[in-house]
Amino acid sequence: MRSSIRFLRKGKVAELADIAPTDTLLDYLRLTERSMGTKEGCAEGDCGACTIALGRLDRGGLRYQPVNSCIFLLGQVDGSEVVAVDDLAEAPDTLHPVQEAMVKHHGSQCGFCTPGFVMSLFSLYHADARPSRSDVNDWLAGNLCRCTGYRPIVDAALASCRTSPADRYAERKSETEAHLKSLLSDGDDVFIGNDDAFLAIPASVDGLDRLYAAHPEAILVAGATDVGLWITKQLRALPKIICLHRAGLDFIEATEDALIIGSAATYAAAQPHLAAIDPDLGEILRRLGSKQVRSTGTIGGNIANGSPIGDTPPVLIALGATVELRRAGITRQMPLEEFFLAYGKQDRAPGEFLTRIIVPRLARGQHLRCYKVSKRFDQDISALLGAFRFDIDEGRIMSARIAFGGMAATPKRAFKTESAIVGLPLADERQWRRAAGALAEDYRPISDHRASAAYRMATAQALLEKARREIAVQSSRHTRVVGQREVLVGRLV
């Protein structure tokens, strides 16, 4: 048992014992270290001004991921390296290649978002990916700039990220890896505080199970992309926090007929595996949050927090996914749609936690289509999200699974619509449109700042028609303005 967190900072091990469970990484940088380069723009993980690079071991190798430090808990850095913008330049006159490119391409105007962009570019630089313009756009979707119009920043990225990384972080890579390995090698659970208030980082599932059973009111934190806002915006007191990143739940197993996703596996880790099932899945994941959010946020968290507007639950429901929960050594499984009972209420007992999600692959004759509709394409919460899986035989629907997000108080299947279209020929537009009317029986959407109820319902019906067209007759080049299936293949993940 360790009563401190340890992480790498500027090449040295930092050890902190005196931290509160809800301390954020940004506050640590700005208020404790007084490293003022990293900025707070929104304190909710949407603008990216606070982006830092988090170095973690990924299958033994060091990988830098951009992270929104404003909603990242200090405890989550245990076992990682933290690189902030102030660290990059070796001397005041010796800028890092991405910094130099930003200056050369006039990538800053007011400069306030710039540190965040620089750190996103630093992580892209180290991804060694030779990105295209759309790859860069995607990588930067979590960094808002209000001055430049982005073109010069994207040019700076394209210019500086086209060679293999050759900075001092690359030079000392094996040293950093060795450091991180030794940080993690103790295999110790971390527990800072007392039974009334603590930050805990269990180093195994069993350790997590024991601790959570003893403290079922504790908050489980995987990526903190939602919990972070409870702290920075709602100012909630969260005395007991259990961080999941070292509990061994971040696995992904790909079998011949299923994908098994550990509940603490990040969106980023799951994305290529899901994209391999169907390009629409990859696209939904690409548009979910931002690079920063996907680096830390998890599919398990997206499910467990029970939000009616999470993007992965409707998709996983359409695919027929099941979830597994565990408490005190006992596990149980259920179809994902049964996990969501009502708004804010899930079928999860106190002390019970999500362990894995089992996603069946598409069988022969099964077709999947997913559509995310939002005001802005990237990094926006869906007004609605529709996911459709059809079993088709000789142009007829044999069976269907349809699920929507944003249409009800929970992610929900459209049972009435499903039965209305079973047996219909795909080619029969008129019958299909009539069947789409059943969506009005499945859902009673609300009006809010994202969309009106009427728009949600009309668009849900339109998406069903779109799915029909794409499967029956038309290439998605003629039905979509973004995310055409034909061009999705081959994009950087």
Partner 1 sequence: MDASSKSRSRKVSATHRPAQGQPLPHDSAARHVSGTAVYVDDMLEPEGTVHLAPGYASSATLGPIRLLDLDAVRKAPQVIRVLTAADIPGLNDCSPSLRDDPILADGRIEFHGQVIFAVIAATRDAARRAARLARIEIDEQEPIVTIEDALKANSEILAPYQFIRGDVEAGLARSPRRLKGSVHMGGQEHFYLEGQVSLAVPRENGEVVVYCSTQHPTEIQHCVAKMLARPDAAVVCECRRMGGGFGGKESQAAQWAALAALAASLTGRPAKIRLDRDDDMIMTGKRHDFRIDYQAGFDAKGKLRAVDATLNGRCGYSADLSLGVNDRAMFHSDNCYFYPQTRIFSRRLKTNTASATAFRGFGGPQGMLFAEQMMDSIARTLRLDPLEVRKRNFYRTGHDTTPYGQKLKDNIIAPLVEELERTSGYRARRRKIAAFNDQNDVLKKGIALTPVKFGISFTLTQLNQAGALVHLFTDGSVQINHAGTEMGQGLYIKVAQVVADEFGIPVDRVRITATTTDKVPNTSATAASSGSDLNGMAAKAAAGVIKDRLVDFAARHFNVARSKIAFAGGIAKIGSKTMTLGELAARAHSARVQLSSTGFYATPEIFWDRAKASGSPFFYFAYGAACSEVTIDTLTGELRIDRVDILHDVGKSLNPAVDLGQIEGGFVQGMGWLTTEELVFDSKGKLLTHAPSTYKIPTASDVPADFRVRLWKSKGNRADTIYRSKAVGEPPLMLAISVFCAINDAIAALKPGVIPPLAAPATPEAIMRAVNAMRDM
Other Cβ atoms less than 10 A from the Cβ of 23: the count is: 18
Least gap, CB of 146 to partner 1 (angstroms):
5
- As measured in angstroms, the least distance from the Cβ of 391 to partner 1 is 24
Please name the residues in contact with 148: beta carbons below 8 A apart, sequence gap of 6 or more: 106, 107, 108, 109
By CB under 8 A, residue 466 contacts partner 1: yes
CB 460 within 8 A of CB 386: yes
Q: Which of 26, 49, 221, 275 binds partner 1 (CB under 8 A)?
A: 49
What is the distance between the alpha carbons of residues 224 and 272, in angstroms, rounded to a whole number? 22
CA–CA–CA angle 224, 18, 241 (5° rounding): 30
**Length of the chain in terms of residues written:** 493
User: Binding string to partner 1 for residues 121 to 140, with x set by CB under 8 A, is what?
Assistant: ------------xx-xxx-x
Among 12, 185, 235, 489, binds partner 1 (CB under 8 A): 235
The Cα–Cα gap between 127 and 61 comes to 12
| 145 scored as a contact of partner 1 (CB under 8 A) | yes
Exactly one of 80, 296, 302, 379 binds partner 1 (CB under 8 A); which one? Answer: 379
Calpha distance 393→390 (Å, rounded): 10
Q: Are 411 and 404 in contact (CB under 8 A)?
A: yes
Label the pairing between strands 240-243 and 219-221: parallel
280 is an interface residue for partner 1 by CB under 8 A: no
By CB under 8 A, name the one of 257, 376, 430, 490 that touches partner 1: 376
The angle subtended at Cα 35 by Cα 33 and Cα 40, nearest 5°, is: 110
Q: Decide if residue 383 touches partner 1 (CB under 8 A).
A: yes
Q: Which is nearer to partner 1, 203 or 284 (CB)?
A: 284
Name which of residues 55 to 94 contact partner 1 (CB under 8 A): 84-86, 88-89, 92
Q: At closest approach, how far in Å is the CB of 227 from partner 1? A: 15
Question: Taking Cα atoms as reference points, which of 88, 123, 5, 484 lies closest to residue 286?
Answer: 484
Contacts of partner 1 in 4-33 (CB under 8 A): none
Q: Which of 1, 13, 36, 214 binds partner 1 (CB under 8 A)?
A: 36
Contact between 52 and partner 1 by CB under 8 A: the answer reads: no
Query: 124, 161 in Cβ contact below 8 A?
Result: yes
Residue 111 Cβ vs partner 1, minimum distance, rounded to whole Å? 3
Binding residues for partner 1, rule CB under 8 A, total 88
Among 57, 58, 63, 109, binds partner 1 (CB under 8 A): 109
Q: Least distance to partner 1 from the beta carbon of 306, Å?
A: 18
| Minimal distance, residue 341 CB to partner 1, in Å | 26
Is 451 one of the binding residues for partner 1 (CB under 8 A)?
yes
Residue 181 touches partner 1, criterion: CB under 8 A: no
Written as six digits, the tokens of 188 are 């110790």
- Candidates 146, 181, 332, 345: give the one binding partner 1 (CB under 8 A): 146
Q: Is 410 in the site for partner 1 (CB under 8 A)?
A: no
Under the criterion CB under 8 A, does residue 482 sit at the interface with partner 1?
Answer: yes
Q: What is the 3-state secondary structure (H, E, C) of 321-340?
A: CEEEEEECCEEEEEEHHHHE
* DSSP tag of 361: P
Cβ at position 362, least distance to partner 1 in Å: 24
Residue 130 vs 477, nearer CB to partner 1: 477
Specify the residue, 399 or 479, whose C-beta has the smaller distance to partner 1: 479
CA distance 112 to 105: 17
Q: How far is the CB of 99 from partner 1 (least distance, A)?
A: 4
Q: What share of the chain is helix, strand, coil (3-state, %, to 5)?
A: 35, 25, 40
Identity of residue 492: L
What is the closest distance, in whole angstroms, from the C-beta atom of residue 193 to partner 1 in the complex? 19
Tokens of 116: 């965040």
